[in-house]
Structure 1
C-alpha cells in the first residue's frame, strides 16, 4: 500500500516538474522541486523496507509476528489465547488481491495483524489459526 502511494506521488511530482519548467523561467522553484523529489525517493525507500519488515511464523503452540523499521517488534500469540481471527481487505487491497489477517486475543494490547498477504494465503492462515485456537482452548 505504501509503495503504491509513493509511486502515485512520484507521478504527481514528475507532472509538477513539467509545470514548473513551463512557468518558472527564473529558476527559483527548481530547488523546491528537487527537494520534493528527494523526499519522495526517501519515502519510497522506507516504504519498501517497511513492507519487507513484516513477517510471521507458525509454531506448534503459538504464532510469531514481527515488524518495524527503527523499533522492531516481535509478538508471540499463543493459539489458546486467540478469540477470533479477521480477514479484511480495503478497496486498494482488493484490486491488488491482498488481504490483512488480524488476530484478536483476550487482552486488547496483544492483538496482532499480518498485512499484505495474498487472498488465498490469508484465508488459509485464518482457517488454520481458527482451528488451532479451538483445539488449544479446549483444555482451558
Structure 2
C-alpha cells in the first residue's frame, strides 16, 4: 500500500512534466498533456491550485492530480474541481478520495461556499466516490460553447 501525501505543486520539474505526460492521456484522449510552460501558468496562478498525490514510499512518484479553481461572484466565493486523474496502477488505493478531501479543505480555507465538479456518467467509480464523499447531483443543465470552432 502506498504512503499517499497530498501536496501543492509549487514548481515545475521534469518529474512533474513527465507525470502529466503519463496522466493526461488517462484522463482525455482529445487533449494533449500540458507543456512545462502551461504547467508553470497553472502553478503560479492566484486563482487555482494544482494538487498532487505522491507516494512517499516510491520516491515521491506522482500517482494523481486535481486542479481546484476558485472565484468570487456576487453571491460569494465558489470553487470548482477539474481534471481529477489517478494513474491506473494506483486506482482503488484511496488516491482520488485523498485528493478530493484535500481540495475541499483548501476550498473551505479560501472561503468557498460551494464546490462543484462534473463527471461523465461512464466514470462509474469516480461518480460513486464523489457521492460517498458528499457531493450531490444537481438538477441543472450544463452547457458548453466551443470557442475552437
Q: TM-score range by the shorter chain?
A: under 0.3
- TM-score, normalised by the number of residues in structure 1: 0.27
- 1 or 2 for the larger relative contact order (CA 8 Å, sep ≥6)? 2
- TM-score, normalised by the number of residues in structure 2: 0.25
Higher Cα Rg, which structure? 1
More helix by share: 1
